Amino acid sequence: MNDDLPVQGRAKGGAARAAKLSPEARKAIALKGVEARKEMASIPKATHTGNLKLGEMEIACAVLPDGTRVLSQRGVGRALGRSFGGGSWKAQADGEDSAAAVVPFYLNVPALKSFIPNDLLVLMSAPNPYRHSQGGGLAYGVSATALPQICDVWLKAREAGALGKNLPHLRVAQKAEMIMRGLAHVGIVALVDEATGYQRDRAKDALAKILEAFVAKELQPYLKTFPAEYYEQLFRLYDLPYPPVGNKSWRPGFFGQVTNEVVYSRLAPDLLPELKKAASKAERKAKLHQWLTQDIGHPKLREHLASIVSIMKLSKTPQQFKENVNVVHPRYGDTKPLPFDAESAGGKELSN
């Protein structure tokens, strides 16, 4: 950029105004700019965006970081045929001072006031500002689940004759009817997920939340978790003397594989590899159950173990035990089952 070029146009006017400002005034303006940028950065950025198609209509939609599905306020207005004027996206209802009376421009019609339910007023009084996932400015969203209610307001007003012969308002009611027809057979949440691509990440996000609830972020103190009955029944099923002769703490190596298969692989989806990953990062060796959370992971483990012990007691052979476990606690995913017989299950014992 050539610094010798003369300043022209708006830049010239801006430079002239800046030259007249005192250092304090220039500093105040700069600070305002910094605050404005901080405020914009604090507004959530949509993780997924797209366009919801209802017949010939399209409404911009987004999924926010917390999973909230929203529709663009402007988009809803355009779909209903309501123009967006200058100023705020919302307008204060005539004669009302309550914050709950603040409604978006597409419902700011005196004839609609008595048809807007209180829960919808409250929902719309707190809009969801967000930034587009692909960059761009600030947008205001309304909860996607509110769209049928918004349309219903116009339809009820028309049915009651409150819209009279006002053609612009009757056209909006007609648009609302078209939207309702488009939503009649498909859930709005599913439509938004499809339009934004969020459906592809939904299962992944759900799994991440499950694992976060089960797997502790740090090693938990050792607590005796597996009941003696669990091992007593394993020894019985595999026709081994119990307690073991000579060393009462001895267990066959393949017991670890059986435990991983019937316990950790069925406690929660993808839990076993996640526990192993956590254990591999630890400085010292520990049992896998020491990486379970105290509030969710351990209670679920104890509950599951009680069920497994009951299944053991009802089983006469390892094969029957396997079949019963598959019936009562189906394995998550399509993982190939590990062998249950002592000969083919041989190998190093895994921590449990």
Q: Which of 36-40, 100-104, 299-303, 345-349 has the lowest mean pLDDT?
A: 345-349
**Which secondary-structure segment (H or E) carries 57?**
strand 57-63
pLDDT of residue 34: 55
Residue 135 has pLDDT above 70, yes or no: no
Q: What is the pLDDT of residues 204-230, one digit of tens each?
A: 666 566 666 777 766 677 677 888 899
Mean pLDDT, rounded, of the chain:
76
Q: What is the pLDDT of residues 74-95, one digit of tens each?
A: 899 999 998 765 434 444 333 3
pLDDT of residue 28: 66
pLDDT of residue 58: 86
Residue 3 has pLDDT above 60, yes or no: no
Taking residue 36's Cβ as centre, other Cβ atoms within 10 Å add up to: 10
Q: Read off the pLDDT band of 308 (50, 70, 90).
A: very high
Q: What is the pLDDT of residues 240-281, one digit of tens each?
A: 988 887 777 788 889 989 999 999 888 888 888 888 887 777
13/93 Cα distance (integer angstroms): 40
Looking at per-residue confidence, does 159 or 295 come out higher?
A: 159
Q: What number is the average pLDDT over the span 187-198? A: 73
Based on DSSP, count helices (H) and strands (E) in the chain, helices before strands: 14, 7
Q: Read off the pLDDT band of 37 (50, 70, 90).
A: low
Looking at per-residue confidence, does 186 or 316 come out higher?
A: 316
Nearest to 146 by CA among 172, 170, 128, 169: 128
pLDDT of residue 271: 85
DSSP character at residue 186: S
Residue 347 has pLDDT above 70, yes or no: no
pLDDT of residue 11: 46
Q: What number is the average pLDDT over the span 294-321? A: 89
Residue 7 has pLDDT above 60, yes or no: no
**Which secondary-structure segment (H or E) carries 158?**
helix 147-159
